[in-house]
Amino acid sequence: MNFPNFLEGLTFFAKQSFRTGKIPKIFKITKIVPIDKVKNPSQFNHLRPVGITNFVMILLEKVYVGRVIEHINKLNKLSEFQFGCRKYHSTEHAMIQVVDNIKKEISKGKVSVLVSLDLKNAFPSVHREKFLVKMKEEFQVSDYWLRDYFQDRKQFVEINIKKIGSDSESNRAGTRECLRSKVLYVLHK
């Protein structure tokens, strides 16, 4: 198969998936491979689960998120202070904004306090139904493709090339292992 034919086939497949709102179940299976965080791990928390997803699913996600972000940017719905997961808005910009605000308040003779929270597992904590409603109502994004994306996701753990257990459905796998989960989380906030 030469590259142009592959690209045409992939483009046709992506368009069909977005038009019909359907994703083949085979693309919704994620292999979880535990990677050691420490030398000679003896507990589960010494392992980092890495999800390996079908590359076609990754491409679909990337195209979908790109389209959604382009649409939302046209609507101008995101706050100017939303720095994460936006083009030309890095975490460095967020830090500059914070430092500037603190300096400004100190120059006025005020005291500034910074409270920083690190939400453990913030991305998988997104409530799907609320997220879908927000995407539809606030951002005018149809939810039919996303609903199928979140349904029937399966994952299995593989250790030393040995499959452990059977395929099991995961209630939160759609947001947990998605490479663009940060973008979805930002839009949910």
pLDDT in tens, the chain (189 residues): 566 788 898 899 999 999 999 999 999 999 999 888 888 888 888 888 888 999 999 999 989 888 888 888 888 888 887 777 777 888 888 889 999 999 999 999 999 888 887 766 666 777 888 888 888 888 888 888 989 998 898 988 887 654 544 555 544 444 334 535 555 555 555
CA angle centred on 183, ends 56 and 85, rounded to 5°: 115
Task: Report the distance separating Cα 74 and Cα 141, nearest Å.
Answer: 12
Task: Report the distance separating Cα 4 and Cα 142, nearest Å.
Answer: 30
Alpha carbon 111 to chain centroid distance?
A: 37
User: Residue 117, by phi and psi: left (phi above 0), alpha (psi -120 to 50) or beta?
Assistant: beta
